[in-house]
Amino acid sequence: MVYLITVSPTINHRDSPEFIVSAFTLGISHPAGFPTYNLLAKAFTFFPFGSIAFKVNLFSVFFACLTLALLYATAIHFMASIYPDEDRSRFMGPALLSTGLLAFSGPFWFHSLVAEVYTLHSFFLCLILLLLLLWREKSDVRYLYVAALAYGLSAGNHATVAFILPAILVLYFCWNTRNIAGNLLTATLFFLIGFSVYAYLPIRSLAEPAMDWGNPETLKGFLYHVTDRKDADTHFSYFRNQAGGADAAVVSFWKSAGAMVASLWHVVRAFLMDVSTHLTPLAAIGFLAGAALCWKRNRPFFFFTLLIVAVNAAFFVGWRKESYFPSYIVVCLFTSLALFAFLFKLKKRKRVGVERKSAEIENQKSIFNGKPTFGWQRLVFIGMACVVPLNITGNFQKADRSGLYFGETLLQKASLSLENRGVFISGVSWFNMFYNNEVMRLRDDVTVVKAWDLLVPDAPHLLSSKRYPDLNLPDPEDHRFDTAEGSFKYVKDLLNRNWRQRPILMDQNLKFFEYFPLENNFLPHRNLLLKYRPQSTDNTRETAPDTAFAEFKDLMQEEMGKPGIYKTEWINKISFYAPSFAAYYHQNKRYENEREVLQLMNQFLGQGGIDWQFMLIDNLILDRKLTAAKEKLEILQTRFPNHFKTHLLEGLLLRAEGNLEAAKKLLEEVVALNPNAFRPRLELGRVRQLMGDGDRAEMELDAAKKNVRTLQEWKQLQQDLVG
């Protein structure tokens, strides 16, 4: 009932609109595709009540409740495996309390209210744990086979369940005493039946659904999806960074060992802090105490759960929260065991007579069947149980999504303001735009193209005539895609072929312009939207109307005035758009307009760190407002005295003041601090040019060329080389 009161009626930010679209249209979500989720959530879209978004959100509620029911049952069977001779009614209280800790923790509650894969992920893990315990308890191998089937299906929902395979194998070889090879083979076949749900990806991709991430109808696209290569750089990234990446081989053994120990300690500390924050300190203590008890009485299950927690915590140490749900489940199981031991197995150390011992045993009856127990233990348990209602009241306002519509309304106006029959290249907002088009059917006349499909080498395969029959697509044979410049020429060809027949629009997308320097072609048009114009042959520069940024500010103010807005999420979304305005004005030397955007980023979005300060002071220097720049720089020097960007700004200011020798010396120090950065090398080359040292300037610009990471940087460098 609490979940139903607080469930979201519409889309949320992040992946919520993506999963609603992929479930409703049976599309392809981001890697690893989530076919099990899409197929099951699709069934909920047939309910005869509520919007599509609400019904997919209800899917999360449903499986959250099933997860909690299974967790309660799993906790009871887990405690029964540790204490097989105990009355199972005694397990009820500890199991309910530990389940309540998960139910109303911030991350689990929130993901129970929006379209996400995490409650289904948790459901499958609890189901697998329960089936394995039942297999051991009843000595019935059929439970093992059903667990293998559930494991295969769970892999189709969240690919990280692959990490629990070693744990399952540990348990299998410890608990299976006969027909080891035969049972393993049969279990593998059941797993493959469940895992065959991944056939959904190429089958649906061939149908060209609107949401078709990565085009997995090809073998390359399929393997990319199943192995989750999109986020491969984040996999165990903390350990790779600590080990020194590619240079780890030259690091001494003891240094490597020390780094590994430090990394492990960081993972353990981060995990326990996360558990303490989101499941309360009671769960952190219960986890450690329960783990010790499990080690003592059921070592196979201890190693099984330890592997689940260890790999999950190490893999997601930089993400935490919802990514820790498998670990949260183990924490709840161990906490229930610790609570049971505290309530019913705590013995007084003082020796007492036989009669006193008999009375004590009689006194240790369940607090739920009306018979007495230790009074102080009863009071402590009641105090612990109060944590659950405290969590409900404490997290209610944070979790409540019942009146939150800003995830939908924020981009609806942008969608409705698109010009008729437009081609919309959608970047940051593409989940929302696909939701508006495919679910809400707001703009059937508009063709939506995902901006990120233009950034990959196989763009022509993603932008096929089958998927976009109404676009005039370039012939891939006329282009090369082995360089960023080749891809850029393909994109320019695509835009120029279509702009005369249909207006081409785009949302503010700074990342896109870092790859493709088109900021002088996509001009601010209205609110979040940019409009494409080819560059004039006479090299005149078209300027955008000033009303675009004013509309953007009005849109933000209107959204901020709505009730129930969650500022952090709202800021994280809107902060992607404002920097594009700043970049456009910066490139077109409209520095006063750029400062207006920077001021908005500071006052409305709370941005004021080193990157924002750098943009502001750089703006003042370029606009020759050197006194104001110097004042701001003095403040920055007190806040970030050792940051290379602070020193870079000092060098830029010295150059603007005409002190070229001091600027050169300082920029040389900046280059030494960060030799792989592009901007310091570029600015040092410019200073040497001003000093008349052409040969050294050319050397610095050649060094800058090696540090180029984007076509935007290449464009800046080319201007200097031509100069």
617-634 pLDDT, tens per residue? 999 999 999 999 999 999
pLDDT at 368 over 60: no
Is 291 found in the same domain as 236?
Answer: yes
pLDDT at 585: 86
- Global pTM? 0.84
Assess if residue 378 is contained within a domain.
yes
Task: Residue 481: name the closest of 497, 468, 499, 462 by CA.
Answer: 462
- Contact by Cβ (8 Å): 671, 651: no
Is 314 found in the same domain as 242?
Answer: yes
Query: What percent of the chain clears pLDDT 70, i.e. is strictly above it?
Result: 87
Q: b or e along 1-16 (b: 16 or more beta carbons within 10 Å of the residue's beta carbon)?
A: eebeebbbbbbbbbbb
Residue 476's domain comprises: 405-553
pLDDT at 237: 56
Beta strands across the sheet bearing 522-526: 447-450, 423-426, 504-507, 529-532, 522-526
pLDDT band at 44 (very low <50, low <70, confident <90, very high): very high
Query: What percent of the chain clears pLDDT 90, i.e. is strictly above it?
Result: 43
Is 428 found in the same domain as 391?
Answer: no
SS (H, E, C) 400-458: CCCCCCHHHHHHHHHHHCCCCCCEEEECCCHHHHHHHHHHCCCCCCCEEEEHHHHCCCC
User: Given CA atoms 372, 373, 374, 379 in this order, what sign does their dihedral have?
Assistant: negative
Give the residue carrying structure tokens 């395979």.
165
DSSP state, 246? Answer: G
Assess if residue 659 is contained within a domain.
no
Which of the pair, 609 or 363, is modelled with greater confidence?
Answer: 609
Q: How far is CA 350 from CA 293, 356, 378, in A?
A: 22, 11, 21
Which of the pair, 461 or 54, is modelled with greater confidence?
Answer: 54
pLDDT at 429: 84
Is 157 found in the same domain as 301?
Answer: yes
Q: How far apart are CA 190 and CA 141, in angstroms?
A: 12
Contacts of 379 (CB under 8 A, 6+ apart): none
SS3 of 34, please? coil
Is 188 found in the same domain as 154?
Answer: yes
DSSP state, 350? Answer: S
Mean pLDDT, residues 229-237 taken together: 60
Assess if residue 689 is contained within a domain.
no
Which of the pair, 374 or 174, is modelled with greater confidence?
Answer: 174
Is 204 found in the same domain as 59?
Answer: yes
Mean pLDDT, residues 121-144 taken together: 95
pLDDT at 698 over 50: yes
pLDDT at 375 over 70: no
- 305 token code pair: 């759960």
pLDDT band at 242 (very low <50, low <70, confident <90, very high): low
Among residues 553, 579, 597, the one where a domain terminates is: 553
pLDDT at 117 over 60: yes
Task: Residue 504: name the closest of 421, 388, 400, 411 by CA.
Answer: 421
Task: Residue 687: name the closest of 676, 696, 675 by CA.
Answer: 696
pLDDT at 521: 86
pLDDT at 557: 79
pLDDT band at 373 (very low <50, low <70, confident <90, very high): very low
pLDDT at 320 over 80: no
Burial of 184 (0-12, 13-18, 19+ CB in 10 A): middle
Is 154 found in the same domain as 103?
Answer: yes
Mean pLDDT, residues 342-355 taken together: 56
pLDDT at 604 over 90: no
Mean pLDDT, residues 82-109 taken together: 93
pLDDT at 707: 81
Is 374 found in the same domain as 460?
Answer: no
Q: How many CB atoms lie within 10 A of CB 545?
A: 12
- Contact by Cβ (8 Å): 84, 140: no
Assess if residue 642 is contained within a domain.
no
pLDDT at 73: 97
Q: How far apart are CA 551 and CA 553, in angstroms?
A: 5
The backbone torsions φ and ψ at residue 162, rounded to the nearest 5 degrees and listed phi first, read -60, -25
pLDDT band at 543 (very low <50, low <70, confident <90, very high): low
Assess if residue 383 is contained within a domain.
yes
Q: How far apart are CA 582 and CA 425, in angstroms?
A: 20
Which of the pair, 246 or 237, is modelled with greater confidence?
Answer: 237
**Alpha-carbon dihedral of residues 20, 507, 575, 31, nearest 10 degrees?**
40
The gap between the terminal CA atoms of the chain, to the nearest Å, is 69
Is 454 found in the same domain as 390?
Answer: no
Contacts of 516 (CB under 8 A, 6+ apart): 454, 487, 488, 491, 711
Assess if residue 64 is contained within a domain.
yes
Domain total for the chain?
A: 2
pLDDT at 672: 86
Q: How far is CA 626 from CA 589, 611, 616, 717, in A?
A: 16, 19, 12, 25
Q: b or e along 404-436 (b: 16 or more beta carbons within 10 Å of the residue's beta carbon)?
A: bbbbbebbebbbebbbeebbbbbbbbbbbbbbb
Q: How far apart are CA 678 and CA 710, in angstroms?
A: 10
Assess if residue 79 is contained within a domain.
yes
Is 47 found in the same domain as 184?
Answer: yes
Which of the pair, 164 or 373, is modelled with greater confidence?
Answer: 164
pLDDT at 571 over 80: no
Is 230 found in the same domain as 369?
Answer: yes
pLDDT at 282 over 80: yes
DSSP state, 15? Answer: T
Q: How far is CA 71 from CA 107, 117, 695, in A?
A: 17, 17, 71
Q: How far is CA 453 from CA 99, 212, 639, in A?
A: 43, 11, 40
Is 413 found in the same domain as 297?
Answer: no
Mean pLDDT, residues 90-107 taken together: 94
Assess if residue 514 is contained within a domain.
yes
Q: Round the average pLDDT of the chain to a whole number and report it.
A: 85
Q: How far apart are CA 78 and CA 722, in angstroms?
A: 73
pLDDT at 294: 94
pLDDT band at 332 (very low <50, low <70, confident <90, very high): very high
pLDDT band at 479 (very low <50, low <70, confident <90, very high): confident
